[in-house]
Amino acid sequence: MSLVLNRRTLLLGAAATLSGCDRLARNEQARELLFSAENFHKWAQRSLMARDAMAREFRPDQISPFFRPNGTANPNTPEYRALWRSGFADWRLKLSGLVGRPLSLSLAQLHSLPHREQITRHDCVEGWSAIGKWRGVPLSLVLDAARMSDKARYLVFKCADLMGDGRPYYESIDMVDAFHPQTILAFALNDEPLRVANGAPLRLRVERQLGYKHAKYLMEIEAVDTLSGIGGGKGGYWEDRANYDWYAGI
């Protein structure tokens, strides 16, 4: 199943289910509250309960002793090596596309934002899984800071690594996953800074999706209204290359 939604269609859906609320909607203050990005995930939760359910979280004693790296274990490009050498001091995460305020965030800035910690199970299509404790910034906070446009339907995650065929790894998610409370930009795994093998300095955790959606080595997040024209047009490296499902919900 693949749902094509933006914030407005979702809110309209939510409003439709709230019959008898017209009077409330006519009130300007209420309207502002309804349409503020800060409150978006709450509304998504009400209108699309299944999509917005929380992924299971585990206890510390259930953490896997080793979180196996998969796919690229080191981007190893000249650009990435230079960033790594400086301890990622010169690395920036760009927020671009359909946003009111494009951002360029340093690791220090991301560290200064509120964090979330979650112990979750990562499931790879190749048939293995691992439980890890992730720490990072809720993606919704960054999207609110960038004043994402109502026209945005997807976020595209651009990575630092090139794959065997020379194409860059990338992924994309819709707004339901973007504003999900467990969707974070993670910079730590098991209480240590993210290792290169697991996506340093920053990776996506999108816990209701299979492993390949969790883009590592993040460089840029672009808000777009269509995925056509990006990469092969199917929304991700493996979607383009091997016909993996774009919607890989678990």
Ligand X SMILES: Nc1nc2c(c(=O)[nH]1)N[C@H]1C(S)=C(S)[C@@H](COP(=O)(O)O)O[C@H]1N2
List residues binding ligand X (CB under 6 A). 67-72, 124, 159, 161, 169, 198-199, 211-212, 214-217
To ligand X, the closest distance from the beta carbon of 186 in angstroms equals 10
What gap in Å lies between CA 132 and CA 122, rounded to an integer? Answer: 8
CB of 71 to ligand X, least distance (A): 2
What would you report as the CA-atom Rg of the chain, rounded to the nearest whole angstrom?
A: 18
Q: Rounded to whole angstroms, how far apart are CA atoms 86 and 82? A: 7
Tell me which stretch binds Mo ion (CB under 5 A): 89-97, 188-196, 208-216, 241-249.
208-216
Among 157, 179, 212, 217, binds Mo ion (CB under 5 A): 212
By C-beta, is 71 or 136 nearer to ligand X? 71
Residue 118 binding result from ligand X, Mo ion, none, given CB thresholds of 5 to 8 Å by partner type: none
Using CB distances below 5 to 8 A depending on partner kind, what does residue 198 bind out of Mo ion, ligand X, none? ligand X
Pairing of strands 192-193, 218-224: unpaired
Binding mask of the shown chain, residues 140 to 179, with x at each position contacting Mo ion by CB under 5 A = ----------------------------------------
Q: How many other β-carbons are positioned within 10 Å of the β-carbon of residue 146?
A: 23
Q: Which long-range contacts (CB under 8 A, 24 or more apart) does 15-21 make?
A: 17/46, 17/47
Alpha-carbon distance values, 244 to 9, 60, 160, 223, 225 (Å)? 27, 32, 21, 22, 21
DSSP E strands in 112-232: the ranges are 116-123, 129-138, 154-162, 168-174, 184-189, 192-193, 203-205, 218-224
Say whether residue 124 binds Mo ion (CB under 5 A): yes
**Residue 68 touches which of ligand X, Mo ion, none (CB < 5 to 8 A by kind)?**
ligand X
Question: Of these partners, ligand X, Mo ion, none, which one is at the site of residue 231 (CB under 5 to 8 Å by kind)?
Answer: none
Secondary structure class of 223 (helix, strand, coil) = strand
CA distance 47 to 13: 7
The packing angle between helices 28-35 and 7-17, to 10°, is 130
Q: How far is the CB of 9 from ligand X (least distance, A)?
A: 29
Residue 201 or 236 having the CB closest to Mo ion: 236
Closer of 40 and 212 to Mo ion (Cβ): 212
Which of 240, 174, 166 is CA-nearest to residue 206? Answer: 174
Q: State the minimum distance, in angstroms, from the CB of residue 143 to ligand X.
A: 20
CB of 58 to ligand X, least distance (A): 16
Question: Which member of 97, 138, 199, 211 binds Mo ion (CB under 5 A)?
Answer: 211
55 binds, among Mo ion, ligand X, none (CB under 5 to 8 A by kind): none
**Residue number with the smallest Cβ distance to ligand X:** 71
Cα-flanking dihedrals φ and ψ of residue 22, to 5°? -60, -40
Q: Which residues bind to Mo ion, rule: CB under 5 A? A: 124, 211-212
